[in-house]
Structure 1
Amino acid sequence: MTLFVTKALGISSINPPPLDLKSILRNESNEFEPILIMTGAGADPSQDLEELAKNEIGSNRFYAISMGQGQQQNAIDTLRRAAENGDWVCLKNLHLVIASLPAIQKELSLLQRHSNFRLWLTSEPDDKFPSVLLQESIKLTFESPPGVKNNMNRTYTQWRDSGVSGGMIRQQCLFILAWIHALIQERRTFIPQAWSKFYEFNNADLRAAKLIIEEMTNVDTRAPEWEFIRGLMQYVIYGGRIDSTFDFNVLNGYLLRYFNSSMISTSGAELAKNIPIPASNKFTDYVMAIEKNIPPEDAPSLFGLPDNIRISWEVTESEATIRQIRNMQIGSGVEVTFEWTRWQNALNPILNMWKRLNSHSTLHSMSLPHVNNSDDPIIEVLSLEFVFAVTLVQTVHRSLSAISKCLRGVLLPSSSTMKLAQSLILHETPDAWQDIWTGPSDPVQYLTSLMFKAKATQELMAIAKNGQLLSSAVKLSKLFRPGTLLNALRQLTARRKKKSMDELKLATAWDSALLKDEIIMQLSGIYIQGALFESTLSDTLASSPPFSSVPKLSVAWISTESSDVYKSTESIFIPMYANVNREQLITQVQIPCGKDPQKWH
């Protein structure tokens, strides 16, 4: 789609130039039209406005008010004073006080305004935003610019306005900072592969980091204290927003790679292939380097991501687009009423599929089984898992039966049935089901996975009772809560070794012989994303499938005093998740990677 648009319009990129508030202020704004800035996720123009106000009229003449409960009168009083004196006002987060906007709008219409008066408004998109205020305003959008090049251009546009001085070492450090800031923001495109979640890295982080760089490079002839700089970035600024160990390792990898003495030199060290760091103390040379050397399209290698990550991204984006189109077609904002024909067409396929899934099973109708109290914790855990499976199957069956009865005219739909039907009509898994077990968002996939796991759990319990579970490979995908099986193995190991569970740690090996004399469980059906693996990690190709299978994994609980299976200099620990969305962490797995562990974080 991007290629088609750029070719049809005869443009090099669909991305807009960086937002230049100073240019808009001087060339487009006036005292009569508010400047409304619509913000996107993770974007906050507050710091930019404060910087602009400081340079244009002075900080003491700029009044910023975060709108919320009880702020309406304060905002009106401030507007009156500012309009008379020619000051600036910024009312932030208007989407939180939509009901107060008519009163503020009325006050605006009555004001006598000084020619220097400016009113800035910020808001997230909201369907209830007053149309009159929209029409009277200069409308802007403020989003984190897509792509590393646009991101760095925007950073340098801000720095040009605020002023950047200093020698070559400071300029190079700031260039590296802008690069790292762009990388960690643009990685958010590839969630959950690049980051496990969306982190609110923003301009406040960039400004704090810039202040640190400037403070640490006061003496241009002395090398900066890299460890101190990395520590502040890692634990205070950017790292303070991260709550995942694996994401923290990614940030640490960037800081170690770029903030070191080898990157600061006159020999043209490179941030990436063909992206040298200018050996200059001139601000304009760095602006030119961004324009000349950084490509407009981001290759995965810029982020240290696998070449085939775009396949995963395209799948994720396609699924999201399909959901949006489906919601537009059905009208997700409209409350679903009981329309027999519509329900019949939309819900009968799901009811028929559920009937087929249960055709050779009694799970939906059997009495709820009792938990088997056993000396073997594995048998007991699988018994609990089976009770959970039957409970969920019967809950789903009751809710679908209620819909079926409504379609047959046996009863009228209750509010809970209406809500459930609305989700299914939108092709979304109902919250009532997800609250019990978080599974696929597609209801067809959810029901299919539910029955597969329920039947598989029953089979695993029978195998465990026969004492054969530890002698055969187990697929964790057969369980609703796979982590509980590893905990059961831990309990079993602790009992047999006569140790406390706190004295044990999980060891993983790709050759069971490396876990000699341990109580081993073999796991199969495991897939890896972002690399290929045989005996060690290797790079993917751009054409490689998103997931590739790996050999059986042997796991055992060993003494915390024992060494890890593989050397730390030749291996890394990677997370194992229960699903492709990486929503449920099971454990971490040690995997050989060769001589460069940092490459794989």
Structure 2
Amino acid sequence: MLNFPEHLEGFKKIFDSSQPHREPLPGAWDVMLDSFQKLLVLRCLRADCLIQGLQDFVTAELGQRFIEPQTSDLSVVFTESSSSTPLIFVLSPGTDPAADLYKFADVMQFSKKMSAISLGQGQGPWAESMMHDAMERGHWVFFQNCHLAPSWMPTLVRLIENINPLKVHENFRLWLTSLPSNKFPVSVLQKGSKMTIEPPRGIKANLQKTYMSLTNDFLSSSTKKADFKSLLLSLCLFHGIALERRKFGPLGFNIPYEFTDGNLNICISQLKMFLDEYQDIPYKVLKYTAGEINYGGRVTDDWDRRCLLSVLEDFYCPAVLSSDHVYSASGVYRQIDTKLDIKGYLAYIRGLPINDTPEIFGLHDNANISFAQNEAFALLEAVVRLQPRATSAGGKTLEEIVEEIVAGIVEKIPPPFDVEEVMEKYPVLYEESMNTVLIQEVIRYNKLLEVICLSLRDIVKALKGSVVMSSALELMARSLFNNVVPDMWKAKAYPSLKPLASWVSDLLQRINFLQRWISNGIPPAFWISGFFFPQAFLTGTLQNYARRSGTSIDTIGFDFESVSEITEIPDTGCYIHGLFLEGARWDNKAGQLTESRPKELYTQMAVIRLIPKPNRKPPASGIFVCPIYKTLTRAGTLSTTGHSTNYVISLELPTRHTQRHWIKRGVALICALDY
């Protein structure tokens, strides 16, 4: 490590590289370190590429097949089973083994000798009767969703324990599916053969799984054979993208939806049906059934539906019928010759990259950084948890550390606001709604400050033994020790993802913002991130305009413009600042949205002027309707407006690109970051 500074240029090259895990280390480092030790250097320089480095390491040491997705083979499990051995599918989100089992039953000529039932309330007696009948006649029985019938599980245990291999038909098999549940009987797990089908990871694995389940007869069964093949590949790519966008977190979708093979299969059936029934390809019908019903039916957030439909637009369109059509700028994902059979399609799929590039999702390269870092840290945490637990003597106790943290916070937290004084200085006025907004904010922050002061006082007493350490105080002490905001504070606080130290600092800034407002009067620009409830502030701005102009508030909307500097309070509307852009950046010179710089995940947004205008019609083009969220998670509780409680308002930002370009980028404005 002593000669690290001597090779700064070499290490900077690795840091800036798009493939740092394949870059040689500078100087003697490349010779002295073995392949595993080089991974340690990679962990320090570029944690976001550690997974790719580990994949290369496993390939070199064990072979390529250890990193390739494996397909399930039920025949192997079946061969090793017997009539007294239950076959248990442990379900994972996004998978449904039913289709694979029905296909296997067909191969084994048991499709007419298999009975299936989805367990739930009142299904127990029918399931028991079905099982007795199957044991006598040598049929298969398939009980789905055992986790939904916990009260019937003791009966299932009794039925399985009473299976006598000498009396039961040798062809009898019991198939079970269940989510991981503590209600599922341990004895059944111990006796049965257990298997799990994980959803394939990556677009390549998803395509491979789908095309391995198709046949040449099915591909040739449509009256528009070439069009069907082209649109089928498009649809399967869309399915893979809809699934894999989840891994990018809120940049992909606000809520991680569990799309399944069932969604894809019904779309494939409808695609074939509509192609056979219509003379011209009904793209509008295809987009509606897929985007609004089959996939869109699962989507509960309006902004996610906008994103899903924008992505689908690229895959259900006339352009995909062209044999030289490309789905990504690099041309890696492309349309192929429709004369090829299943083997040809599978050969093309095997040539696709294992790790998806953000371009196929319409995302910026930066999207991979936050996802890859989170994945790498989760892997390393799992490795650490598997290490033997060791204790070391010396150091401060938990109580001592918590006492220090509490003392530091108590020193910083100011006393609550004097509400009466504020109400006297800023009385409720018809012509100035901002006074009401200020009073409401002061009351909300006072409630939070009271909870903080009271709980800090109680925990000091509990640590000293003056009062009993309740479970709530114990949880609070653990949270303070882990640099996490205690739950009892969160219950009275505004949405925030910051760790404790940053949260306290942010709280002090918010209180200072209100204190300056109280002391100096209405500010020329409002720090929108500092509001407990920013929607009340926005409504107050509209109310002020409505009351001054005598216009109905329902007819007023906001016009938007960015400004470089603020000189005075505007006559109408207001200035807001403190927002951050994710997925793009703001070009101050051009006054429009532009692409993010490499490795720059969040950028500060310019000051925005909100101008109330009656009967306003938004521009038809040249803008991106950008939602504002309170925190980076973007998801919240669905409110009666159809929006998340995390959602504030949407701004219209000027841009040279199409709106769909930024929608697929996942661009949004954020009030507060997580650090």
Same fold, TM exceeding 0.5?
yes
Q: 1:578 and 1:315, CA in 2 relative to 1: closer, same or farther beyond 3 A?
A: farther
Corresponding residue number in structure 2 for 1:454 = 511
Corresponding residue number in structure 2 for 1:337 = none
Shift of 1:192: 1.2
Corresponding residue number in structure 2 for 1:260 = 317
Corresponding residue number in structure 2 for 1:519 = 572
Any gaps of 5 or more consecutive residues in structure 1?
A: 332-340
Q: 1:51 and 1:528, CA in 2 relative to 1: closer, same or farther beyond 3 A?
A: same
Q: What is the count of residue pairs matched by the alignment?
A: 575
How do residues 108-507 of structure 1 correspond to structure 2 at under 5 angstroms? 108-111=160-163, 112-126=167-181, 129-160=184-215, 163-166=218-221, 167-218=225-276, 222-265=279-322, 267-272=323-328, 273-281=331-339, 282-292=341-351, 294-317=352-375, 344-345=399-400, 347-358=402-413, 361-363=414-416, 372-375=427-430, 376-421=432-477, 423-424=479-480, 428-437=484-493, 438-440=495-497, 442-463=499-520, 466=521, 468-469=522-523, 472-507=524-559
Shift of 1:216: 1.5
Contact 1:386 1:458 in 2 (8 A): no
Equivalent position amino acid for 1:295 in 2: P
Q: 1:116 and 1:393, CA in 2 relative to 1: closer, same or farther beyond 3 A?
A: same
Q: 1:36 and 1:521, CA in 2 relative to 1: closer, same or farther beyond 3 A?
A: same
Deviations 1:324-374 (A, max 9, x none): 899999x9xxxxxxxxx965146324313322322xx2229x678775423
Q: 1:314 and 1:487, CA in 2 relative to 1: closer, same or farther beyond 3 A?
A: farther
Contact 2:410 2:456 in 1 (8 A): no
The match for 2:606 among 532, 538, 551 is 551
Q: 1:571 and 1:369, CA in 2 relative to 1: closer, same or farther beyond 3 A?
A: same
Corresponding residue number in structure 1 for 2:652 = 590
Q: Is 1:93 aligned to 2:151, yes or no?
A: no
The whole-number CA distance in structure 2 between the counterparts of 1:312 and 1:119 is 44
Equivalent position amino acid for 2:485 in 1: T
Q: 1:95 and 1:422, CA in 2 relative to 1: closer, same or farther beyond 3 A?
A: farther
The whole-number CA distance in structure 2 between the counterparts of 1:243 and 1:588 is 18
The whole-number CA distance in structure 2 between the counterparts of 1:226 and 1:159 is 23
Q: TM-score, normalised to structure 1's length?
A: 0.86
Q: 1:591 and 1:133, CA in 2 relative to 1: closer, same or farther beyond 3 A?
A: same
The whole-number CA distance in structure 2 between the counterparts of 1:306 and 1:39 is 33
Q: Secondary structure at the match of 1:36?
A: strand
Q: 1:182 and 1:108, CA in 2 relative to 1: closer, same or farther beyond 3 A?
A: same
Q: Percent identity?
A: 23
Q: 1:452 and 1:124, CA in 2 relative to 1: closer, same or farther beyond 3 A?
A: farther
The whole-number CA distance in structure 2 between the counterparts of 1:61 and 1:450 is 66
The whole-number CA distance in structure 1 between the counterparts of 2:81 and 2:575 is 68
The whole-number CA distance in structure 1 between the counterparts of 2:386 and 2:504 is 24
Equivalent position amino acid for 2:545 in 1: T
Deviations 1:443-466 (A, max 9, x none): 444333333323322323444xx3
How do residues 569-584 of structure 1 correspond to structure 2 at under 5 angstroms? 569-583=621-635, 584=646
Corresponding residue number in structure 1 for 2:673 = none
The match for 1:12 among 35, 45, 64 is 64
Contact 1:44 1:202 in 2 (8 A): yes
Contact 1:148 1:183 in 2 (8 A): yes
Greater shift, 443-452 or 476-485, is seen at 443-452
Shift of 1:379: 1.7
Q: 1:596 and 1:116, CA in 2 relative to 1: closer, same or farther beyond 3 A?
A: same
The whole-number CA distance in structure 2 between the counterparts of 1:257 and 1:386 is 49
Q: Secondary structure at the match of 2:441?
A: helix
Q: Secondary structure at the match of 2:617?
A: coil
The whole-number CA distance in structure 1 between the counterparts of 2:512 and 2:595 is 37
Q: Secondary structure at the match of 1:122?
A: strand
Shift of 1:248: 1.4
Q: 1:399 and 1:485, CA in 2 relative to 1: closer, same or farther beyond 3 A?
A: same
Greater shift, 125-134 or 237-246, is seen at 125-134
The whole-number CA distance in structure 1 between the counterparts of 2:449 and 2:122 is 49
The whole-number CA distance in structure 1 between the counterparts of 2:409 and 2:383 is 25
Contact 2:572 2:611 in 1 (8 A): yes
Q: Secondary structure at the match of 2:532?
A: coil
The whole-number CA distance in structure 2 between the counterparts of 1:113 and 1:518 is 87
Q: Secondary structure at the match of 2:336?
A: coil
Q: TM-score, normalised to structure 2's length?
A: 0.77
The whole-number CA distance in structure 2 between the counterparts of 1:342 and 1:113 is 62
Q: 1:327 and 1:401, CA in 2 relative to 1: closer, same or farther beyond 3 A?
A: farther
Q: 1:349 and 1:308, CA in 2 relative to 1: closer, same or farther beyond 3 A?
A: farther
Q: 1:319 and 1:5, CA in 2 relative to 1: closer, same or farther beyond 3 A?
A: closer
Deviations 1:456-485 (A, max 9, x none): 22323444xx3x42xx22221222222221
Shift of 1:410: 0.8
Contact 2:219 2:228 in 1 (8 A): no
The whole-number CA distance in structure 2 between the counterparts of 1:429 and 1:328 is 27
The whole-number CA distance in structure 1 between the counterparts of 2:85 and 2:220 is 36
The whole-number CA distance in structure 2 between the counterparts of 1:161 and 1:59 is 22
Deviations 1:256-306 (A, max 9, x none): 2121111113x32122223221222423322222112x2111111110011
Corresponding residue number in structure 1 for 2:641 = none
